[in-house]
Homo-oligomer: A and B are copies of this chain.
Amino acid sequence: MLTTHPFDDDKLHEECGVFGVWGADAASAIAALGLHALQHRGQEAAGITSWDGHQFHTHRAMGHVAGNFDRDDIIRGLPGKVAIGHVRYSTTGETALRNVQPLFAELSSGGFAVAHNGNISNAMKLRRDLVRRGSIFQSTSDTETIIHLVATSSYRTLLDRFIDALKQIEGAYSLICLTSEGMIVCRDPLGIRPLVMGRLGDSYIFASETVGLDVVGASYIRSVEPGELIIVSDKGLRSHRPFAPVRPRPCIFEHVYFSRPDSIVDGSSVYSVRKRIGAELAIEDPIDADLVIPVPDSGTPAAIGYAQQSGIPFELGIIRSHYVGRTFIQPGDQVRHLGVKLKHNANRALIQGKRVVLIDDSIVRGTTSLKIVQMVRDAGAEEIHMRIASPPTRHSCYYGVDTPERAKLLAAQMSVAEMRDYIKVDSLAFLSIEGLYRALGEDAREEAHPQYCDACFTGSYPTHLTDQEDLAPADQLSMLAERIA
């Protein structure tokens, strides 16, 4: 079963996953496996850079890891005992290969490759300054800003240049960099995006999620801590703390949807958290029904939790096709309305005449919910009670997640009652923000210093949003409104 729900364009999308391995034979093959396990974090492109002690080797390709990085000729072209890799989901139309990571540059200190998960929220401003001084950008990626800041830094050692660069950037970044002197791994002071560390024999492994460790047989050591900078070289591993300490605010949506259920994120089992979310939902909004049905696959753990808490049986009322990638274009106009059925089919024999609780992880635009509810209704459900395993998603994310503009977020435009009518269910309930914090094991959300970045639900952004503030006044106003809201 399952993991997340990558094919649905009515979901928020994680933009990236990163992976690094230091000191293992066949490092690039290990990186390929690790990236494959992180594929749900970015399906549009992938890349690996290896270092063989003398030279850097890079291969980047549009498409999945499988089909590109499972080819012997590709892996043979990436020799060495050190490798870093990246999977990418592109938010814009700009999907050119030159934006695919790892980005690589020859600096005066030697080769420098970087794989980045997150988003730099003052990248546009920094870029304008750099171009003015003669820097030439290869890509439209915010990540390239980091490389130019390192290249033009006036400090002497590479490490000092790198820290100089980091101190100029704001936003979210889990970084794995490869240089001829060692691998540099770093997580932003707030720890917005995840990053974990493991061991495989004598080698070190870094990955966005623990499933990247599992797939290569590595053991999980711990998370890279927010604000921590680690250098791995032939001399071993050294940990630095270059930033002033602040209270971390890791992304809460990793637990709701992004991470795979079999991952451990910042110490918590994602599967367990999702089951507790389902249980909280059952407590907050009890209903009398015959069946609990997940929208597969992302709603399944919460549905199991809901069923166990409520005593209503868990059933597979919607069957999902294994053969739907994003590429199936429905041929012909007459059949266009059949779209959702390519992905899901209602289990009519089960549903007919029943009162169902339908569990999904979140509602973004609402377009898919509308179709799924209609499909379940057509299959003969007597009542449909929709339960959403997170609070209403009302605000855009600027930290490396692909969110539609606010105007397209259903919950930014409608009350819960309006949404219930819009998607045509008998009842609709979202988990409360407090319920979500409870499911995560917190007593309550600390209003002054929230334990997580929950900006998509609350509008409380943990960093400056410089590039957003540089927008036209009208946009600024709506931005400010959003931050105050």
Distance (whole angstroms) from the CB of A27 to the closest CB of chain B: 10
Check if B137 sits within 8 Å of A152, measured CB to CB: no
| Interface window among A247-255, A334-342, A459-467 | A334-342
Distance (whole angstroms) from the CB of A470 to the closest CB of chain B: 17
Does A92 have its Cβ within 8 Å of any Cβ on chain B?
no
Check if A296 sits within 8 Å of B33, measured CB to CB: no
Distance (whole angstroms) from the CB of A255 to the closest CB of chain B: 13
Q: Mark A299-333, 1 if CB is under 8 A from B, else 0.
A: 01100100010000111101111111101111111
Chain B residues within an 8 Å CB radius of A131: 106-108
Does A216 have its Cβ within 8 Å of any Cβ on chain B?
yes
Q: Mark A219-263, 1 if CB is under 8 A from B, else 0.
A: 000000000000000000000000000000000000000001110
Check if B322 sits within 8 Å of A262, measured CB to CB: no
With known contacts A269-B349, A316-B261, A334–B106 Cβ distance under 8 A: no
Does A472 have its Cβ within 8 Å of any Cβ on chain B?
no
Does A415 have its Cβ within 8 Å of any Cβ on chain B?
no
Check if B331 sits within 8 Å of A316, measured CB to CB: no
Does A289 have its Cβ within 8 Å of any Cβ on chain B?
no
Does A180 have its Cβ within 8 Å of any Cβ on chain B?
no
Distance (whole angstroms) from the CB of A82 to the closest CB of chain B: 15
Does A25 have its Cβ within 8 Å of any Cβ on chain B?
yes
Check if A320 sits within 8 Å of B269, measured CB to CB: no
Chain B residues within an 8 Å CB radius of A316: 1-2, 261, 271, 300-301, 304
Does A30 have its Cβ within 8 Å of any Cβ on chain B?
yes
Closest to A333 in B: B26
Check if A327 sits within 8 Å of B67, measured CB to CB: yes
Check if B37 sits within 8 Å of A345, measured CB to CB: yes
Closest to A4 in B: B322
Check if B135 sits within 8 Å of A323, measured CB to CB: no
Check if B26 sits within 8 Å of A335, measured CB to CB: yes
Chain B residues within an 8 Å CB radius of A324: 66
Check if B216 sits within 8 Å of A335, measured CB to CB: yes
Question: Within the complex, which residue of B138, B152, B217, B320 is in contact with A138, where a contact is CB–CB below 8 Å?
Answer: B138
Check if A106 sits within 8 Å of B33, measured CB to CB: no
With known contacts A32-B331, A136-B138, A338–B262 Cβ distance under 8 A: no
Check if A329 sits within 8 Å of B33, measured CB to CB: no
Segment 120-152 of A: residues with Cβ below 8 Å from B: 131-138, 147-148, 151-152
Question: Within the complex, which residue of B108, B261, B346 is in contact with A132, where a contact is CB–CB below 8 Å?
Answer: B108
Check if B323 sits within 8 Å of A40, measured CB to CB: yes
| Interface window among A68-76, A170-178, A404-412, A416-424 | A68-76
Check if B349 sits within 8 Å of A264, measured CB to CB: yes
With known contacts A215-B341, A304-B314, A323-B36, A26–B332 Cβ distance under 8 A: yes
Check if B134 sits within 8 Å of A1, measured CB to CB: no
Does A347 have its Cβ within 8 Å of any Cβ on chain B?
yes
CA distance A319 to B348 in the complex (A): 26
Closest to A347 in B: B262
Does A482 have its Cβ within 8 Å of any Cβ on chain B?
no
Does A65 have its Cβ within 8 Å of any Cβ on chain B?
yes
Distance (whole angstroms) from the CB of A295 to the closest CB of chain B: 10
Question: Within the complex, which residue of B39, B147, B328, B334 is in contact with A323, where a contact is CB–CB below 8 Å?
Answer: B39
Does A439 have its Cβ within 8 Å of any Cβ on chain B?
no
Closest to A28 in B: B331
Closest to A336 in B: B29
Distance (whole angstroms) from the CB of A159 to the closest CB of chain B: 17
Chain B residues within an 8 Å CB radius of A297: 1, 322
Check if B64 sits within 8 Å of A323, measured CB to CB: yes
Distance (whole angstroms) from the CB of A191 to the closest CB of chain B: 21
CA distance A438 to B324 in the complex (A): 35
Given contacts A1-B1, A214-B345, A262-B348, 15 further A-B contacts (CB under 8 A): A1-B294, A1-B318, A2-B296, A3-B319, A26-B332, A39-B321, A72-B332, A107-B131, A107-B136, A134-B148, A134-B152, A211-B345, A215-B341, A269-B349, A271-B349
Sample 9 A-B pairs with CB under 8 A, ordered by A number.
A1-B2, A37-B345, A39-B323, A135-B135, A214-B346, A215-B341, A216-B338, A272-B350, A314-B314
